[in-house]
Amino acid sequence: MENLSRWNGHERRTTPRVAGEGELLAAVLDAHGQSRKLLEQAQVVNVSGGGIAFTSADACDVGDTVDIRTPSEQAKSFSVRIVGANRRGDGRSELRGELISGSVPACLMYGW
């Protein structure tokens, strides 16, 4: 049986994404790199080499810079620029962030 790729050449992503799991510590940064707002109850939705999607009980704006780390501090923090934000039916915000510094840790992808 031949393996048929579903990629049609119109995919916008340059890196594949995978489902993620786990809690996050996320804070919106001000222009000086200082935390100005914590995003409560942040949870991973999916991750890729280029960014992360996560939910939060709080909202933030497209264009905001968010510093993210894992609660156990197994990995270094990384920063994303919010490129998409939606309010879900359950009242939580779903935020999509593009990586701007650091790297998305493997523990968020693979649970290790």
- In 3-state terms the chain splits into helix, strand, coil percentages (rounded to 5) of 5, 50, 45
Q: Rounded distance, CA 60 to CA 10, Å? A: 30
The pLDDT tens digits of the residues spanning 38-96 come to 999 999 999 988 899 999 999 999 999 999 998 876 778 999 999 999 999 899 999 99
pLDDT, residue 104, reads 83
Is CATH 2.40.10.220 the right assignment for the domain spanning 17-110?
Answer: yes
Q: Rounded distance, CA 15 to CA 17, Å? A: 7
Which residue ranges make up each domain of the chain?
17-110
User: What is the pTM (predicted TM-score) of this model?
Assistant: 0.81
